[in-house]
Amino acid sequence: MSRESFNIFRVEYQWVEGEEGFTLVGKGVTRRRFEKDLSEAKRFAESLRGKEIISGENLGKGYYTECIPEYYRQILWFLKNKKGYVYCYFDEHFAYKVDNGLGRSILVERKEKRTKRSEIL
């Protein structure tokens, strides 16, 4: 993989009563390298079991409670702080299109997707 490459990976969880979340993390690594880093982050999160933190910041130190969302937060903390991944954000409401403009200019357009909801009486 070249130094100019940057891959984005989706890390997600699902928990009770439909609670779920996901985070996009990125770094210039291959999928195989990411999976190794993710396995290391999982082992790190598992090593924090039993190290309950009552007050203050708990990331990288222990758990408030042992539950999937807490394990997920610890894994993301490890990937960011120990492995150098960055959080990535994708706004799917906007797209940018490069096209031939009139004459010699280049046209760049922004497309915005909107959802409008209203109650029908």
Q: What is the pLDDT of residues 9-37, one digit of tens each?
A: 999 999 888 889 999 999 999 999 999 99
pLDDT at 104 over 60: yes
Please state, in angstroms and rounded to a whole number, the distance separating the CA atoms of residues 86 and 35: 16
Mean pLDDT of 41-65: 80
Are 23 and 50 in contact by the 8 Å Cβ rule? The answer is: no
Strand partners, 10: 24
Per-residue tokens: 33: 């390298």
The model carries a pTM of: 0.76
DSSP structural state of residue 28 = S
Q: Which residues of 76-92 are buried (b: 16+ CB within 10 A; e: fewer)?
A: bbbbbeebebeeeeeee
